[in-house]
Structure 1
Amino acid sequence: MNRRTTNGHANGQANSHLPNDKPALNFDIVIVGAGISGINAAYRIQQTLPSHSYTILEARHDLGGTWSLFKYPGIRSDSDLHTFGFAFNPWKKPNPIATGASIVEYMNETAEKFRIDKRFEFQHNVLAANWSSEEQEWRLEVENDGRKKVYYAKFVILGTGYYDYEEPLKAQIPGLDNFAGTTIHPQFWPEDLDYKGKRIIIIGSGATAVTILPALIDGGAGQATMLQRSPTYIVNLPQKKPGELRLYERVLPQRMALQITRLLFIWVPYLFFLFCRQFPTAARSVIRKGAQHDLPPNFPLDPHFVPHYEPWDQRLCFCPDSDFFKCFGSGRAHIVTRKIKQVVKSGIELDSGERLEADIIVTATGLNLRFGGNIALSVDKKKVNVADHHLWRASMLTDVPNLTLVIGYVNASWTLGSDCTARLFCRLIKFLEKNNYTSARPRIGEEEKKDPRSVFQLKSTYVNKGAGNAPTTGWKDPWLPREHYFFDNWSANWADLRKGMEFERVADKI
């Protein structure tokens, strides 16, 4: 395409037609977000579209996304790194569940290895993005150290995750302001917090609470209590130790062995997911027996580990080497399954009349869903509300040209889905250029809008509360939600790009 663009990375050229002669930066592709999705997309661009210029804009000071933002004790992945890691740079360590620090280290190593680190522009916060049908390009308003900058791009990839980095989900806890101690949301954990010897209540039952409880006990908390309104399914995931090798790892070259390991970690969890969906009663029994086996002797299973919903109605929680179950053997870790009556000055009163005393309350009650970050999106200066749009192949918003929204899985590793999105979008760009199109805009018919579905097929509280901020999926291809990797992987490589898509060819932009 003949378009005004620079071949540089972080440097662009001044553009005289901008208002007030402000300099603009021009790229074929702008990636927003230097997390795992952004790095993955960058690699796919370099591999598939080597002649295209691109940059990665990151609002924070460092790469890593969630893994550099969250600092709460024990922060770790809730998916295995063999599939959460990059297919093009496999996770080589034996442990499938990794700490936040080791994930950031791995991401830095990957970015450096493939020279993606040369494309990062940190502390570049994208405030607004407007698509111009006349110009057939995106105009992005960016703030950098208090200065305003303008970027132009033919394509935009939003690797901004699915939650609000600035504002957590507000916990609806009666009387929380009455508490005289310290109240913390895990998303903004103070790194200098001294909790040794303190009495701590963790409100919540999801992956964050399951991670924090054993970490606090190991870190010297006096007493730590996980207070949950309803239980969660929690499953042990054994960690391999250095030097432990499977038979195929002993006889095959490392590269081949890593590919087999990755395939195993794709297939086995998916088969277990299908087992849970098809045989929920049997799955409940298996999960409960596992918990009973790993808990201290005579520790009550009911009501603390007997959820009232079916497995995978909400996301399963995984704990490495049963650390969550084992921490109750310390005598300092506790679990309480009751509703909160109110928070008082010294702790929490339960609906049973019991009072839990505390020095610190941790509100691990979920994330505030936000797709596309806090960027003010618009098309021809008409505001785009993400929640009003359907997703084409779980990747692009209806009526929004040349923009992809990276969304992964909730029943598998996020990266599996984000990689499908990146490969699909790169294939779409090649298709556009081969056919001399300048833009692709998803369009959905009235019949296809019937029976809308949630982007995340879960019944978790934070998902239900955040539904008003999420795009919608449909009941038939190409509007289906992400359901399993095998279909999405096929779709990324072979699906009909014309289905549900409207193309535009503007002569003077070709």
Structure 2
Amino acid sequence: MSSAASTPEHVDVIVVGAGLSGIGAACQLATGQPDKSVMILESREVSGGTWDLFRYPGIRSDSDMFTFGYRWRPWPSETALADGHMILSYLRTVAEEYGVDKLVRYRHKVTGASWDSGTKRWTVTVDHDGAALTFTCDFLWGCTGYYDYEQGHRPEFPGEKKFKGTMVHPQFWPEDLDYTGKKVVVIGSGATAVTLVPSMSPDAEHVTMLQRTPTYILPQPGKDPLAVALRKVPDSLAYPVVRWKNVLQLVGSYQMARKFPDQAKKFVRKFTERQLPEGCSYDENFQPPYNPWDQRLCVVPNSDLFRALRSGKASVVTDTIDTFTPTGIRLSSGQELEADIVITATGLKLKLFGGIDVVVDGEPFRPSDTMVYKGLMISGIPNFAFTIGYTNASWTLKADLVGDYVVRLLKHMDKKGLSTVVPIKDDSIGERPFMDLASGYIQRALDGLPRQGDRVPWMLKQNYLMDLRMIRRSELEDGVLQFA
């Protein structure tokens, strides 16, 4: 075999993932570092990530699209909480406009990444339809999100094997599932459940949302009122105005809720309780035992969940499962819910960096031994960045900042003739959990995640306004990043 044939293909930057984060990262590289060679490795056969994977009825964004859309490419609609197909169309249109759709290698599942300080390169191993491939790059950028595409969180319920009906997890929705005229029980109370119930209720005989614990749910207009008012203003002017209004609203409401939880509870109750049908108790079904934003708050467009409840085609039950029966579910209270179909909207399973085996100079990466730098790099891992969005605001607000930072970092390294960069943690930095939400999917995974620190730049503030200064405007050579 010739040396040319045995030499892996090399590019400047490999982006892992062709979803919202990966497409955004490649677009920012295309405009900010046009001379860099870029490859996008995508494990699935199509782009879009979450917005192509999930096919359940009514899938939509639970963040407003003026902050969920890219800062540098206006969201082309007045719709605030958009359906999945609209988001997917937007992503693929942006990819085509910036030419990054041509950079994607589909069905290329990254299985491992090994850094060698001698060559100052990453060697990336890939499974392509069963064949092992190898690529090398100078900089590796993980844009795989933080959940497992191959399996969701699915607890085993008592007696579920007795059930004669159909059980479905929303992450793996069957295309041929017919729920017309059927009795449906949706187990869960998060964003997926509150989307499914109003989407299925018009066709189903009845849909019951069975929850163990309520979630804070707030109605929101389907269209942004300010965007509607500015519809005749050019996008280049209107989009930043609407975006900043929503940014300030997001940050302000979160900070107020954390500082004044009792007032936040009253605010949510004021807007939610009046939407409920007669006989539906707010305290029993919509008042969680925790404070707002201890877990992510759900929003529903045009009060669709509450309209479904008022119509009588849907209901909510707060209880625990005693056992499944052949025809449904018996609850701990003794109540029985008849069901033809049970949907287990029980959450996601976290999987850091898509489950890639990372090795640095022969040493396996152990997440719990490391610390996150500015929420976008990992202590001790050279020439590596990752994109994980906010837990309390739109994912893309953080993704855009990560893109800005990586482009700025690569420019700086080129200008100074530097080949490597790595964050070095001071042993005096105190440790904290990576994410501070009490949501089950996060708590289940904390032991396998990197830590955050007790002070900047190792501390994650989950605050876009503070991150603007820390990520977009701070000095790159800050004494924490080690260049060579």
Query: TM-score per shorter chain, which class?
Result: over 0.9
Does the 8 Å contact 1:370/1:470 carry over to 2?
no
The letter for the 1-side match of 2:339 is A
Count of paired positions: 484
Query: 94, 97, 102: which is aligned to 2:81?
Result: 97
Farther-moved stretch of structure 1 (464-473 vs 309-318) = 464-473
Does the 8 Å contact 2:183/2:341 carry over to 1?
yes
Name 2:210's counterpart in structure 1: 227
Percent identity of paired positions between Structure 1 and Structure 2 = 38
Query: 195, 215, 220: which is aligned to 2:179?
Result: 195
SS in 2 for 1:26: strand
Distance in 2 (alpha carbons) for counterparts of 1:500 and 1:466: 31
5+ long unaligned stretches in structure 1: 1-13, 506-510
SS in 2 for 1:125: strand
Does the 8 Å contact 1:369/1:470 carry over to 2?
no
Distance in 1 (alpha carbons) for counterparts of 2:294 and 2:225: 35
Query: 395, 413, 423: which is aligned to 1:414?
Result: 395
- In the TM superposition, residue 79 of structure 1 has moved relative to its aligned partner by 0.5
The letter for the 2-side match of 1:316 is L
Query: 124, 127, 138: which is aligned to 1:154?
Result: 138
Name 2:313's counterpart in structure 1: 332
Name 2:445's counterpart in structure 1: 466
SS in 2 for 1:281: helix
Q: CA RMSD in A?
A: 1.9
Distance in 2 (alpha carbons) for counterparts of 1:502 and 1:81: 34
SS in 2 for 1:161: coil
Do the aligned partners of residues 118 and 108 (structure 1) sit closer, same or farther apart at CA in structure 2, a change above 3 Å counting?
same
Name 2:475's counterpart in structure 1: 496
Does the 8 Å contact 1:453/1:472 carry over to 2?
yes
- In the TM superposition, residue 500 of structure 1 has moved relative to its aligned partner by 5.5
Does the 8 Å contact 2:42/2:105 carry over to 1?
yes
Distance in 1 (alpha carbons) for counterparts of 2:214 and 2:376: 33
- In the TM superposition, residue 341 of structure 1 has moved relative to its aligned partner by 1.6
Query: 158, 164, 167: which is aligned to 1:183?
Result: 167
Name 2:252's counterpart in structure 1: 271
Name 1:457's counterpart in structure 2: 436
Query: 464, 469, 472: which is aligned to 1:485?
Result: 464
Do the aligned partners of residues 65 and 244 (structure 1) sit closer, same or farther apart at CA in structure 2, a change above 3 Å counting?
closer
Farther-moved stretch of structure 1 (348-357 vs 71-80) = 348-357
Does the 8 Å contact 1:440/1:501 carry over to 2?
no
Does the 8 Å contact 2:81/2:223 carry over to 1?
no
- In the TM superposition, residue 242 of structure 1 has moved relative to its aligned partner by 11
Runs of 4+ displaced beyond 4 Å? 241-244
- In the TM superposition, residue 479 of structure 1 has moved relative to its aligned partner by 0.4
Do the aligned partners of residues 244 and 136 (structure 1) sit closer, same or farther apart at CA in structure 2, a change above 3 Å counting?
closer
Does the 8 Å contact 2:327/2:340 carry over to 1?
yes
Query: 352, 365, 368: which is aligned to 1:387?
Result: 368
- In the TM superposition, residue 48 of structure 1 has moved relative to its aligned partner by 1.6
The letter for the 2-side match of 1:233 is Y
- In the TM superposition, residue 173 of structure 1 has moved relative to its aligned partner by 2.6
Name 2:97's counterpart in structure 1: 113
Confirm whether residue 434 of structure 1 aligns to residue 415 of structure 2.
yes
The letter for the 1-side match of 2:373 is W
Name 2:69's counterpart in structure 1: 85
Do the aligned partners of residues 387 and 362 (structure 1) sit closer, same or farther apart at CA in structure 2, a change above 3 Å counting?
farther
Distance in 1 (alpha carbons) for counterparts of 2:110 and 2:262: 47
- In the TM superposition, residue 172 of structure 1 has moved relative to its aligned partner by 4.4
Name 1:508's counterpart in structure 2: none
Query: 358, 383, 389: which is aligned to 2:339?
Result: 358
The letter for the 2-side match of 1:158 is G
Distance in 2 (alpha carbons) for counterparts of 1:442 and 1:29: 19
Farther-moved stretch of structure 1 (493-502 vs 30-39) = 493-502
Query: 42, 46, 55: which is aligned to 2:39?
Result: 55
The letter for the 2-side match of 1:469 is G
Farther-moved stretch of structure 1 (314-323 vs 144-153) = 144-153
SS in 2 for 1:183: strand
Distance in 2 (alpha carbons) for counterparts of 1:37 and 1:359: 38
Does the 8 Å contact 1:347/1:358 carry over to 2?
yes
Distance in 1 (alpha carbons) for counterparts of 2:397 and 2:53: 22
Does the 8 Å contact 1:394/1:482 carry over to 2?
no
- In the TM superposition, residue 470 of structure 1 has moved relative to its aligned partner by 2.0
